[in-house]
Each structure stands twice: as structure tokens, then as C-alpha cells.
């Protein structure tokens, strides 16, 4: 740790004491800053730089330079060159005067209106203007992002590691099925863009491990009322429907954005479990064949009120409400063998869950000057109440009932300050965060086993301060930060041996580098230290559900925070093509697997595993082709005016990932796995398209699930727009091949276990979206808005 602090100190000192003789300025087109412009300065040597998001650049030069030649080039504009005399402290105002008629032949995807923009620490995907992403749900859109895949147990991962979902810059406060169902209910046409933050900086809490996927919803930018209504129905043996609406209003200094929706879902799946193990010298075998009925209703309301106090200050108030009611049930034919004693019986489980979440957020943002100094104060409070009932019947006789009432209160206050910092040719950010949450759990058991429910409280406090800088040193873009984080958590029960209190304080550095290899081609690399603490329910010492006479779920009060050291390198070509390598060393990680209890049953819970190493290689390549549209030659000739929404293409994501642990995990559960994911658009003309989505996870291991055969899914959708794009119609088929599901061996300590699940059969869907008013800012420019950090001469 001392070495890391020393290196960072030397780094910051080097920045502050950097050469004072420099050439700096901004690059613009029609008054708008142009990021990622490639700067070349020629004297007796050649120097390079790249503009940041505000169009600013700075290049250090030798003291003896008197004259130089400067060239600025960007794939969308004709390059400009000037010969200049060096003037100390001069701020150059470089302007593009003409857009490019000829773009490099490799750029077949539209470059005049980028749908993907890559920065040093994140990738921004435009959802609003890309029909293939905005025609379904937010879950569908997220699943099509570069490097994203859904794991065998339904969680969202990016580049082989689990991801955290944010909504408008803040965590959703949901996880598991609740989060997945919410994303499936939220229509993608309400989303402006999605940020893939695969290198979270010091501004983000170190407790968010892995990638952050930030979904940014649309907001009112023009006077008047605008919005949309969506109705979608899916049919197989059951009918499922989703209805949602968005309304945006703006009048003078006040704007209001509301999203609301309702979903009813009922679907059937089939599962088969086979396992065997030894308990107290007795061989136990079981075969459990389930029919599962998933039934839930969900409705949500999200409100965002914003008042522009002045040209420099904004007040924002948000209120969000989410309600989910579910009543899943299973019917099973069970077979158990205890030594020589064999038993066959029928069982039934009934579940009920009622969850209500209220969230209130206040944001005050203040621009302190006109050159980019900003202050933001955010206060967020969330209340959740969840009541659960889990009943197990064997031959119509009640075997157990587990009742629980969970209350959760979460509060966070944070202050963030950002300002241009001339000494380092970039920006300085400072901030402080305070987070506190309390989870209270009460319940009861009706159980044929002698066991009492233990009332359980979990308290969590996080205090943090951070500092980060971003700078351009010649052509190298650097962002570095350091975060001090104190984490205190404790569980309180009536049983002293289950009480736990931990206090953890540490430093978490982050460094990101981005270097332009040539115009449009970038190499980036980064390092971050992260920490992750499981949710409160993972510490709950009680059995929270019983799935059969032999299988149940419980928490583990002895868990520790996860620590990971993450390194990555990415090569991007014109933003659309990428190749990345990721390596994580994990001194401590919590993973879920089954263990044999003293009474001979199985419990699924989280366990601490040490010395983990995770690595992955991922790539994304767009493949345009001439099917139902103009030929490749014509596409190249007309590429300056290409509209990606009217192009036939396939975007291929592929990857390999592998995680190794210490010797507690057998080698068979530490193998790697390959996957491919493609989404294709076939443009038929007349504003009509066909979307084809295909996913295949080959044999291998993912999160301790060993696939016995590849998992794959194919979906096809026909899309047609009417009335000047105001009416959007989707008709399609999900799970075309009836192969959605998985056949896996599940790791368990001292047991053999196989699970086979076949998800819902082929589903037919039809969806209508009607837009009214205007979703777009009529003053919106082609490039991101921004203020140059320094005034130009």
C-alpha cells in the first residue's frame, strides 16, 4: 500500500511540475467543441495530442522553439494545417471549416452521427436514435451492449464479471429477480443513452465492483408536452402484457419527466435436479422433477421535477415508487434414496412476495464560473418493505412455512466539486460521500424440524472522500484518483455467537490511460482496486426458503468484504470495433454453493473463497452487408450520409472468460468458457426492419456452473414505423428454437449435482409504441455540449 501511495504522489508531483512552455487551445466547428481531434505539432520533432470532451488540448514543447506547424484532424472534417510563431501563454482557437466528403474506407458504419462513443473510462451508446436498441425493453437494450451477457442464473455480467445497474447516475436499489423484472418492464424508448463504465473512477464508491451500466433516461428539453405510450403482449400458453407511458413537460424554467408502467406476467418453466452425497455414512440420492409457474404483477412510477434557478443553478427533486407482487408455485415428482430406503412422493411449494420501494432524491447543482467549475450536492433516501411467504407441502401435508417481514432504509449524502486545473492541463475533482442503511428482518417458522426464526438486524455505514485528476500530456490522456473509504457493518441477533461487527478502512487507487495510435484508433489501459460487500440478506443466519425436503436457502453471517485488483487493456477502432483483455486478482471473494448440513440436508449460501484470479478476452465487430439494401460499393460512395437505421448489419460480440480459485474448488469447475452474441438488422426499405438476436454459450464454466451442453437462444422481430416515426410496431417470436435454458453441473461441497432448466417455450409478441410531441431537443447539436476550460484569444 505504501508503494502505491508513493507512486501516486510521484505521479501528481510530476504533473504539477510539468514543463511550463506549452501550446494549448480548443478545437471547434460552428462554435461547438470537437472532442477526440488528433493534434500534430511539427518542429524539429513531432508532438501529438488529442482533445478532451471540451475540445481542449495541451502539448509541451522545448524552450528553444520559435516557429511550428500545427495540424488538427478528425474523421468527420477536412484536416487543417497552420504555420505559427510561438507566443507564450497564447490560447489557440482552431476551427474546422468544412465537413469531410471522404472518410476512411474502413468506416462503413455512420461516422457523422456516432451511435457509440468511447472515452478513456467508459463507452456511451446512443439508444434514442438506434431502432435496434430502442424497440424493446431496457433489459433487451442492455443485453445487446458490447461485452454484456446474461449468466446461467439470470444475472447481468460484462466481460465475464457481474455488473451493477445504475439509473440516471444512481444505483437502482434493486437486485436479483426484482431488478431483472423492472428492466424488462421499462421500455427502451424512454432511454436516451447507456453508459458502460468499465473503469469506474474514484468518484464512484469502491463498493461497486466490476462494470457500472448507467441507463440515462430522456428528459424534457423543449417547451410544451411530449411523450409516448407503449403496449406489448406476449403469448404462448399464457398471455403476458406490459403497458407503459412517458410524459415530459417543460415551461420556462420548470420541467417534469414522468415514467409509469404496469406489467402482468405468468409463465411456465420445467426443472430437473439430480444430486447425491454422503451424510453420516449414508448415501443420499435424489431426483426432483419440477413444473414451475412464475406469476407476478409490477407497477412503477418515476418522477423528476427540475427548476432552473438561474443560468448557473438547478434544483432537482425525484420521487420513485416500485411495487411488485408475486406468487410463484411449483409441482414436483420427487424421488429420494436414503441408503437402501427409497421414497417417491409429490410435493408442492407456494410462495408469496409483496415488495414496495419508495425513493426520494434531492439534487442541487451549481456552476461556480463559466469555465467549467461545478458543485453538486445530492441527498438520496430509499425505503423498502418486503413480506415473504414460503410454504412446502408433501403429499398435501404441510411440511414447512417460512414467513418473513423485511424493512430496509437507505440514505446517502454526497458533495462533488469539479474544476479545470491549469497546472495539470486538465480537471480536478474532489468529493465526500456518506451512506447509511439499516435492514430489519422479522419472521417465523412452522417447520417439522426443531428450528426457531432469529430476528435479525443489519446496519451498514460508509464514509468516503476522494480526489481525482484528468489531464492530457502530449497525446496521452490520463485520469488518476485516490479514494479513502471507511466501511462499518454489523449484524445484531439474540444469539451472541451470530453477532458480527467489522470496521474496514483502506485506500482505493484508480488509473486510466488512453493513447491515440492514429486518427480514430485508441489504446487504453487501466488499474483499479475495488471492494464489494454482499447485501444484507446474504448475512441473514435464517433459512429464508425451503425448496424441497432436502434443499433450502440460507445466509452466512461470517462473510467478509470482497477485494479485487482489476487491470484491463482495450484497443478501439473508430469506436465500433474493440478488443479488450481484463485481469482481476481477488484475494477474497464470496460465491454461492451448496453445503451439507449436520441434519443431512443441503443449504445454498455464500461462502468466502480466497486467491481467485479472473481473466477474459472480449471483442466486438460490426459486419455491414448488402442484403435488402444498396450494395457495398454504393454504401462506400455514400458513406458520409449513411444512416445506421437504414443499414443492414450484424454486430458480433464474442469472448472467453475463466476464473480460478484456490484448491477448495475442483478443477472441473475452473475451466474457461466461450460465448458469442449477435444482433442483426436487415433493412427492408420503407422504414421496415427485421431484427435477429442470437446467443450461444459454449461448454465451459460460468460462476461455478459447468455447462453440459451449449446454451443458446434465437429471437426474430419485424419492425415498422408509420406516421413520420410516431407509431412504432413490433411483431416477433422469442425463443424460436425452444432452446432457452441450461443444463449444468452445480458445484457443491462434497456432492454431485446436476440441474436442467427449460425456460418458457416459444413466445409470440406484438408491441405498439406511439410518440407524441417531440423527444428531441430542437437545439441539439451533433456533438456533446461543453464549455472550453480556458478562454481563447
Size (the chain), residues:
793
Contact 622, 644 (CB under 8 A): no
Residue 146 and residue 204 share a domain: yes
Q: CATH no. for residue 584?
A: 2.40.170.20
pLDDT band at 178; cut points 50, 70, 90: confident
The answer to whether residue 634 sits within a structural domain is yes
Determine which of 118-132, 275-289, 542-556, 740-754 has the lowest per-residue pLDDT on average. Answer: 118-132
Residue the block writes with cell 424534457:
220
Residue 202 and residue 55 share a domain: no
Residue 203 and residue 74 share a domain: no
Residue 129 and residue 22 share a domain: no
* Residue 277 reports pLDDT greater than 50: yes
Give the range of the structural domain holding residue 495, as residue numbers without chain letter: 116-343+356-771
Query: What pLDDT is stored for residue 269 in this prediction?
Result: 92
Contact 591, 611 (CB under 8 A): no
pLDDT > 70 in the chain, percent? 88
Query: What pLDDT is stored for residue 142 in this prediction?
Result: 85
Residue 123 and residue 92 share a domain: no
Question: Who wins on pLDDT, 123 or 234?
Answer: 234
* Residue 702 reports pLDDT greater than 50: yes
In whole angstroms, give the CA distance from residue 196 to residue 215: 9
627-659: per-residue pLDDT in tens?
Answer: 444 444 454 444 444 567 778 888 899 999 998
The answer to whether residue 788 sits within a structural domain is no
Give the global pTM. Answer: 0.79
Question: Who wins on pLDDT, 638 or 371?
Answer: 371
Determine which of 13-17, 272-276, 359-363, 644-648 has the lowest per-residue pLDDT on average. Answer: 13-17
Question: Who wins on pLDDT, 768 or 20?
Answer: 768
Domain count, the chain: 2
Query: What pLDDT is stored for residue 436 in this prediction?
Result: 95
Ranked by mean pLDDT, which of 431-435, 469-473, 531-535, 559-563 comes out on top?
431-435
The answer to whether residue 726 sits within a structural domain is yes
Residue 315 and residue 377 share a domain: yes
Residue 179 and residue 33 share a domain: no
Query: What pLDDT is stored for residue 17 in this prediction?
Result: 42
pLDDT band at 87; cut points 50, 70, 90: confident
* Residue 500 reports pLDDT greater than 60: yes
Mean pLDDT (the chain) is 83
What distance lies between CA 602 and its chain's CA centroid?
Answer: 33
* Residue 777 reports pLDDT greater than 50: no
Residue 704 and residue 608 share a domain: yes
Residue 77 and residue 202 share a domain: no
Task: Please name the helix (run of DSSP H) or strand (run of DSSP E) that holds residue 391, with its range, or none.
Answer: strand 374-394
Region 403-429: mean pLDDT is: 88
314-325: per-residue pLDDT in tens?
Answer: 999 999 999 999
Q: CATH no. for residue 20?
A: 2.60.40.1120
pLDDT band at 222; cut points 50, 70, 90: low
Strand order in the sheet with 161-162: 148-150, 156-158, 161-162
Residue 337 and residue 472 share a domain: yes
Determine which of 133-137, 350-354, 657-661, 706-710 has the lowest per-residue pLDDT on average. Answer: 133-137
* Strands 91-96 and 22-29, bridge-based pairing: parallel
Contact 191, 217 (CB under 8 A): yes
Determine which of 29-33, 293-297, 302-306, 599-603 has the lowest per-residue pLDDT on average. Answer: 29-33
Residue 66 and residue 123 share a domain: no
- Please state, as a whole number, how many other Cβ atoms lie within 10 Å of the Cβ of residue 534: 17
Residue 728 and residue 632 share a domain: yes
Amino acid at each position: 500500500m505504501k508503494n502505491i501511495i508513493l507512486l501516486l504522489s510521484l505521479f501528481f508531483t510530476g504533473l504539477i511540475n510539468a514543463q511550463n512552455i506549452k501550446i494549448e487551445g480548443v478545437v471547434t466547428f460552428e462554435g461547438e467543441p470537437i472532442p477526440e481531434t488528433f493534434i500534430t505539432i511539427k518542429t524539429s520533432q513531432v508532438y501529438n495530442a488529442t482533445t478532451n470532451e471540451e475540445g481542449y488540448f495541451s502539448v509541451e514543447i522545448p524552450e528553444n522553439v520559435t516557429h511550428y506547424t500545427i495540424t488538427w484532424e478528425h474523421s468527420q472534417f477536412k484536416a487543417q494545417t497552420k504555420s505559427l510563431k510561438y507566443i507564450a501563454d497564447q490560447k489557440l482557437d482552431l476551427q474546422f471549416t468544412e465537413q469531410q466528403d471522404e472518410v476512411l474506407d474502413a468506416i462503413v458504419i455512420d461516422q457523422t452521427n456516432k451511435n457509440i462513443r468511447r472515452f478513456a473510462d467508459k463507452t456511451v451508446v446512443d439508444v434514442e436514435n438506434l431502432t435496434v436498441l430502442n424497440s424493446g425493453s431496457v433489459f433487451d437494450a442492455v443485453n445487446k451492449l458490447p461485452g454484456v451477457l446474461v449468466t446461467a442464473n439470470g444475472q447481468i455480467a460484462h466481460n465475464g464479471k457481474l455488473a451493477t445497474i445504475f439509473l440516471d447516475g444512481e444505483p437502482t436499489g434493486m437486485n436479483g429477480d426484482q431488478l431483472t423484472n423492472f428492466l424488462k418492464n421499462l421500455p427502451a424508448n424512454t432511454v436516451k443513452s447507456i453508459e458502460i463504465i468499465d473503469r469506474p473512477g474514484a468518484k464512484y464508491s469502491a463498493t461497486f465492483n466490476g462494470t457500472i451500466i448507467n441507463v440515462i433516461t430522456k428528459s424534457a428539453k423543449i417547451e410544451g408536452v411530449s411523450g409516448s405510450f407503449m403496449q406489448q403482449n406476449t403469448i404462448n400458453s399464457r398471455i403476458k402484457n406490459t403497458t407503459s407511458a412517458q410524459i415530459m413537460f417543460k415551461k420556462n424554467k420548470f420541467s417534469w419527466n414522468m415514467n409509469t408502467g404496469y406489467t402482468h406476467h405468468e409463465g411456465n418453466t420445467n426443472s430437473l435436479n439430480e444430486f447425491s452425497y454422503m451424510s453420516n455414512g449414508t448415501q443420499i440420492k435424489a431426483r426432483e422433477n419440477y413444473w414451475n409457474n412464475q406469476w407476478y404483477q409490477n407497477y412503477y412510477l418515476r418522477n423528476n421535477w427540475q427548476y432552473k434557478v438561474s443560468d448557473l443553478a438547478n434544483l432537482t427533486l425525484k420521487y420513485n415508487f416500485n411495487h411488485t407482487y408475486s406468487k410463484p408455485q411449483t409441482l414436483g415428482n420427487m424421488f429420494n434414496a436414503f441408503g437402501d430406503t427409497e421414497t417417491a412422493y409429490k410435493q408442492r411449494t407456494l410462495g408469496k412476495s409483496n415488495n414496495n420501494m419508495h425513493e426520494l432524491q434531492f439534487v442541487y447543482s451549481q456552476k461556480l464560473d463559466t469555465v467549467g467549475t461545478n458543485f453538486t450536492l445530492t441527498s438520496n433516501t430509499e425505503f423498502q418493505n418486503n413480506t415473504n411467504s414460503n410454504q412446502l407441502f408433501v403429499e398435501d401435508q404441510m411440511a414447512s412455512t417460512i414467513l418473513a417481514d423485511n424493512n430496509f432504509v437507505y440514505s446517502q449524502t454526497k458533495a462533488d466539486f469539479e474544476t479545470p486545473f491549469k497546472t495539470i492541463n486538465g480537471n480536478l475533482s474532489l468529493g465526500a460521500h456518506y451512506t447509511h442503511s439499516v435492514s430489519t428482518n422479522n419472521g417465523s417458522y412452522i417447520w417439522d424440524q426443531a428450528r426457531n426464526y432469529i430476528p435479525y438486524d443489519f446496519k451498514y455505514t460508509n464514509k468516503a472522500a476522494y480526489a481525482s485528476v484528468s489531464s492530457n500530456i502530449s497525446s496521452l490522456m490520463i485520469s488518476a484518483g485516490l479514494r479513502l473509504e471507511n466501511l462499518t457493518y454489523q449484524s445484531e441477533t439474540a444469539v451472541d455467537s451470530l453477532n458480527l461487527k467489522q470496521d474496514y478502512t483502506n485506500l482505493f487507487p484508480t488509473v486510466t490511460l488512453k493513447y491515440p495510435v492514429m486518427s480514430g484508433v485508441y489504446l487504453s489501459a487501466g488499474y483499479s482496486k475495488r471492494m464489494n460487500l454482499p447485501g444484507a440478506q446474504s448475512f441473514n443466519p435464517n433459512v429464508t426458503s425451503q425448496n424441497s425436503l432436502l434443499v433450502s436457502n440460507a445466509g452466512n453471517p461470517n462473510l467478509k468484504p470482497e477485494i479485487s485488483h482489476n487491470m484491463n487493456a482495450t484497443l478501439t477502432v473508430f469506436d465500433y470495433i474493440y478488443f479488450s483483455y481484463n485481469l482481476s486478482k481477488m484475494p477474497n471473494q464470496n460465491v454461492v454453493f451448496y453445503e451439507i448440513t449436520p441434519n443431512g440436508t443441503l443449504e445454498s449460501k455464500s461462502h468466502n473463497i480466497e486467491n481467485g484470479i479472473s481473466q477474459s478476452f472480449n471483442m466486438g465487430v460490426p459486419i455491414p452487408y448488402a442484403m435488402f439494401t444498396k450494395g457495398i460499393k454504393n454504401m462506400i460512395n455514400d458513406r458520409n450520409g449513411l444512416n445506421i437505421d437504414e443499414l443492414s448489419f450484424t454486430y458480433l460480440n464474442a469472448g472467453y472468460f475463466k476464473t480460478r480459485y484456490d484448491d477448495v474448488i475442483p478443477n472441473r469447475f475452473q475451466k474457461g468458457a466461450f460465448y458469442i452474441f449477435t444482433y442483426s438488422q436487415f433493412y427492408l426499405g420503407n422504414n421496415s426492419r427485421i431484427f435477429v438476436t442470437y446467443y450461444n454459450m459454449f461448454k465451459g464454466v460460468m460462476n461455478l456452473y459447468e455447462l453440459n451442453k451449449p446454451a443458446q437462444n434465437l429471437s426474430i422481430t419485424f419492425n415498422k414505423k408509420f406516421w413520420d416515426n410516431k407509431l412504432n410496431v413490433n411483431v416477433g417470436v422469442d425463443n424460436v428454437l425452444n432452446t432457452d435454458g441450461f443444463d449444468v453441473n452445480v458445484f457443491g461441497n462434497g456432492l454431485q449435482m446436476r440441474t436442467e432448466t427449460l425456460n418458457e417455450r416459444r413466445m409470440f409478441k406484438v408491441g405498439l409504441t406511439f410518440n407524441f410531441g417531440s423527444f428531441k431537443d430542437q437545439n441539439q447539436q451533433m456533438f456533446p455540449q461543453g464549455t472550453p476550460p480556458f478562454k481563447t484569444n
